[in-house]
């Protein structure tokens, strides 16, 4: 039974929709093009516009989002369809940001990562927490209007790659659109939170049951576009579009080919699969192939193109997936399709021969840049592989690409004639362990980036985190449903692995990077102690806003990187901040809930519960509750298991646990090296039986037995003993 609670409706809800969109004008302005009877007079005699209904998002408003009437809203995931996350609001600016204070907050009552970008439409803030629970608030006061819980089953926190978080929601014509973790696409009434329609976007049976949705849906001219995740677990990636009014499917585009014996799919991607099929070899379709489009989209309404960023291969190892042959289209690519029909228009593949769990599902944005003396319509992306790409968004032509990290063991450069990477010697995986940087941990991961037309700079959360790679013998590979089927060998040459991991930890970096996409050069950077800082917002107030791994919200000068303001919030936000204006007052909002960002050198890391935080100039008197005191680091038990058992545990941990708990058992959302004696005594009950299911840790009895759980525990004890002396006495 789906739950919703209507707290404020009717006239009261409409009152929350009085909007001002003038950056320096405290008097309300018209907010769109609603019917004439929606216009009323304020108590000061100024004309105020009330939208005809909540979440009044239309093609007209989105294509006129820079108009004075609309700039105070945040109506889409990246604010506009080009996803540049730049706001023209400048009431909060580099001259007064020091007066910023906490206006209101809502405790989301979870310790899990909260990754969603909120929406604000006509004075109402819509937000999504874990398990796709959506709440509407009065954007001025934080008063709750309604909450909708789709009741996603708790086991999806394990069945999905990276936990029960989502990166956001969409709004269209009076409806809030939710892409639920379990594959449901749900529309709820923006006034009441009542369900309007629901559509299941993928099957939950058989191989297809490994899909999940963690990205934000987008709505382009009445079409809801959504991808999915699951490449690590073995699926065939696809993107689909649905009618925003009814939920009916309009088109479907597969990103990798299926079994050639089955013939064409009868979908919009059929012509594209004719291009892709010759680039694959072996029996890849038995493992899905991957290529899931789990987050990155953009749209150009003039060109009528939807841009899709695709993901890694399944399995990860090229030698297993495709016999070490072929480019494997459309893995790690940008694919442009017709928004109306879903038909293929062009593609550019960043990572041919994908062998490294690289994805091109990182944020994309469109812009018009003067390059080489002429204006170019471009799409920009900084994917996992450490290169920043500028591409002609009409044709797919590569304009430029340069690495933005200090070392790149994958490729030395991108050949502008062929568009292909020039791989470093030894980049492809063999049976010998080697260090890759960037690794699957990414030079830039899903965290939103921003582009300011005022400075001409792109701002992103960059990092350098290497990891040890080695390919398993293809004859030894065994596919297991709902397990990370990487094809990596995680057991061989442990001494070499230890040396390489020590090097990776020593070289780990994290920084906020300002990048000039025209000159392909760094403008400035802000260095953090370790990676893990969050998404970015840029504004016309010469501001860049970012949540930091130091458990603060920080604001920098967009032109120089000088720190202008910072507040301790007892959390490390990873979500993208937003800004909006209601009744002539500008606000900044962010979800603060850290998770899903493994960090080697973070050490014991305690935070408060996740919260939605909202700030404005001159706010005072609102204080966050104190952070719980840190616990002492427990002394691990002595290791009594055999080396073979530990090495078996290392392999099982890498396939089942590393995504949430960090590579080599370092960092993650819960560092398992430092379990208490009580937790260790309950280890099998937690891992196999789901003792902590209410915390998101569902049992693994369907993929692990007691012997395998014991091997994982032995590996964790070994890792704790290896690191205890330094960790306990920093």
- With tokens 């062929």, the residue in question is 418
Per-residue pLDDT at 53 exceeds 90 = yes
pLDDT tier for residue 16 given thresholds of 50, 70 and 90: low
Per-residue pLDDT at 33 exceeds 50 = no
Contacts of 252 (CB under 8 A, 6+ apart): 238, 239, 240, 241, 265, 267, 268, 269, 342
Compare 669 and 1 and report the one with higher pLDDT. Answer: 669
What one-character DSSP code corresponds to residue 14?
Answer: H
Contacts of 473 (CB under 8 A, 6+ apart): 431, 489
- Of 460, 458, 539, residue with least CA distance to 94: 539
d(CA 273, CA 329): 9
Q: Is 138 a catalytic residue?
A: no
What is the CB-side half-sphere exposure of residue 554 using CA atoms within 13 A?
24
Contacts of 514 (CB under 8 A, 6+ apart): 455, 457, 458, 459, 522, 523, 524, 525, 544, 558, 561
CATH of range 643-728; options 3.90.1150.10, 1.20.120.420, 1.10.760.10, 3.40.50.300 = 1.10.760.10
Cα separation values, 601 from 288, 406, 497, 596, 663, Å: 35, 19, 17, 15, 12
What one-character DSSP code corresponds to residue 18?
Answer: B
Q: Residue 21 has what pLDDT?
A: 37
Per-residue pLDDT at 20 exceeds 50 = no
Per-residue pLDDT at 653 exceeds 80 = yes
The per-residue pLDDT for range 669-683, each reduced to its tens digit, is 788 998 988 999 999
Q: Residue 50 has what pLDDT?
A: 62
- CB-neighbour burial class of residue 480 (10 A; exposed 0-12, middle 13-18, buried 19+): middle
Q: Is the peptide bond before 528 cis (omega within 30 degrees of 0)?
A: no
Q: Is the peptide bond before 221 cis (omega within 30 degrees of 0)?
A: no
Q: Identify the active-site residue in 357, 467, 489, 671.
A: 357
Yes or no: say if 636 and 717 are a contact pair by the CB < 8 Å rule: yes
d(CA 451, CA 670): 33
Per-residue pLDDT at 730 exceeds 60 = no
Q: What is the pTM of this model?
A: 0.86
Q: Which stretch of DSSP H or E encloses residue 655?
A: helix 643-656
List the domain boundaries for the chain: 97-525+544-617, 643-728
What topology is assigned to 97-525+544-617 in CATH?
Methanol Dehydrogenase; Chain A (2.140.10)
Of 17-26, 150-159, 225-234, where does mean pLDDT reach its minimum?
A: 17-26
The per-residue pLDDT for range 326-339, each reduced to its tens digit, is 999 999 999 999 99
Average pLDDT of the chain? 90
- Of 361, 395, 366, 362, residue with least CA distance to 379: 366
What one-character DSSP code corresponds to residue 627?
Answer: P
Compare 681 and 8 and report the one with higher pLDDT. Answer: 681
Q: Residue 189 has what pLDDT?
A: 98
d(CA 629, CA 646): 33
d(CA 534, CA 117): 12
Other C-beta atoms closer than 10 Å to the C-beta of 37 total: 8
Per-residue pLDDT at 123 exceeds 50 = yes
Per-residue pLDDT at 14 exceeds 80 = no
Q: Residue 9 has what pLDDT?
A: 42
């Amino acid at each position: 039974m789906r739950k919703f609670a209507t707290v404020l409706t009717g006239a009261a809800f409409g009152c929350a929709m009085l909007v001002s969109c003038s950056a320096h004008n405290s008097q309300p302005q018209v907010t769109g093009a609603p019917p004439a009877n929606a216009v009323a007079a304020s108590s000061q005699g100024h004309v105020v516009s009330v939208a005809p209904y909540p979440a009044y998002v239309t093609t007209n408003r989105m294509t006129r989002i820079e108009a004075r009437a609309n700039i105070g809203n945040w109506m889409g995931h990246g604010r506009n369809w080009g996803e540049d996350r730049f706001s023209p609001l400048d009431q909060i600016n580099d001259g007064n940001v020091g007066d910023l204070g906490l206006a209101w907050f809502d405790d989301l009552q979870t310790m899990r990562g909260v990754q969603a970008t909120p929406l604000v439409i006509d004075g109402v803030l819509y937000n999504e927490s874990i398990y796709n629970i959506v709440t509407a608030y009065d954007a001025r006061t934080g008063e709750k209007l309604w909450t909708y819980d789709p009741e996603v089953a708790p086991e999806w926190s394990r069945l999905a790659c990276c936990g029960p978080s989502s990166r956001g929601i969409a709004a269209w014509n009076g409806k809030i659109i939710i892409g639920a973790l379990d594959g449901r696409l749900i529309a709820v009434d923006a006034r009441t939170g009542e369900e309007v329609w629901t559509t299941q976007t993928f099957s939950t049976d058989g191989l297809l049951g490994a899909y999940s949705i963690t990205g934000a849906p987008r709505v382009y001219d009445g079409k809801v576009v959504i991808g999915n995740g699951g490449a690590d677990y073995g699926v065939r990636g696809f993107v689909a579009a649905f009618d925003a009014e009814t939920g009916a499917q309009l088109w479907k585009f597969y990103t990798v080919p299926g079994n050639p014996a089955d013939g064409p799919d009868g979908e919009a991607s059929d012509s594209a699969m004719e291009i892709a099929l010759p680039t694959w070899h072996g029996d890849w379709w038995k493992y899905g192939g991957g290529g899931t489009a789990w987050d990155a989209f953009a749209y150009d309404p003039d060109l009528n193109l939807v841009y899709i960023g695709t993901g890694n291969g399944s399995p990860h190892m090229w030698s297993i997936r495709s016999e070490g042959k072929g480019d494997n289209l459309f893995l790690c690519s940008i694919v442009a399709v017709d928004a109306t029909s879903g038909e293929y228009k062009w593609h550019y593949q960043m990572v041919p021969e994908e062998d490294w769990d690289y994805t091109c599902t990182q944020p994309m944005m469109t812009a018009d840049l003067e390059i080489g003396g002429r204006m170019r319509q471009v799409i920009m992306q900084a994917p996992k592989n450490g290169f920043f790409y500028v591409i002609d968004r009409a044709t797919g032509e590569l304009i430029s690409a340069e690495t933005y990290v200090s070392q790149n063991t994958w490729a030395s450069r991108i050949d502008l004639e062929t568009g292909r990477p020039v791989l470093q010697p030894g980049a492809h995986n063999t049976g010998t362990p080697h260090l890759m940087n960037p690794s699957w941990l990414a030079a830039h991961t899903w965290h939103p980036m921003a582009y300011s037309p005022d400075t001409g700079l792109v701002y992103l959360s960059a990092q350098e985190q290497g990891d040890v790679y080695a390919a398993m013998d293809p004859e030894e590979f065994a596919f297991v449903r709902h397990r990370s089927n990487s094809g990596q060998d995680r057991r061989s040459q442990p001494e070499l692995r230890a040396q390489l991991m020590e090097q990776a930890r020593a070289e780990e970096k994290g920084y906020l990077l300002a990048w000039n996409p025209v000159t392909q050069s760094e403008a400035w950077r802000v260095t953090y102690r370790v990676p893990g800082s969050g998404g970015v917002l840029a504004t016309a107030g010469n501001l860049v806003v970012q949540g930091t791994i130091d458990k603060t919200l920080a604001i920098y000068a967009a032109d120089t990187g000088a720190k202008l303001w910072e507040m301790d919030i007892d959390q490390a936000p990873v979500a993208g901040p937003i800004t909006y204006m209601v009744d002539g007052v500008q606000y900044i909002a962010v979800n603060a809930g850290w998770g899903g960002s493994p960090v080697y050198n973070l050490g014991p890391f305690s935070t408060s519960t996740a919260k939605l935080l909202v700030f404005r100039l001159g706010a005072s008197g609102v204080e966050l509750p104190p952070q719980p005191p840190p616990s002492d680091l427990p002394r691990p038990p002595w290791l009594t298991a055999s080396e073979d058992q530990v090495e078996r545990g290392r392999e099982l941990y890498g396939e089942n646990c590393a995504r949430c708990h960090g590579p080599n058992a370092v960092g993650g959302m819960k560092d398992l090296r430092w379990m208490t004696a009580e937790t260790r005594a309950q280890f099998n009950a937690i891992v196999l039986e789901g003792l902590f299911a209410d915390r998101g840790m569902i049992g693994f009895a369907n993929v692990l037995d007691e012997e395998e759980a014991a091997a994982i525990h032995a590996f964790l004890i070994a890792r704790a003993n290896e690191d205890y002396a330094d960790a306990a006495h920093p």
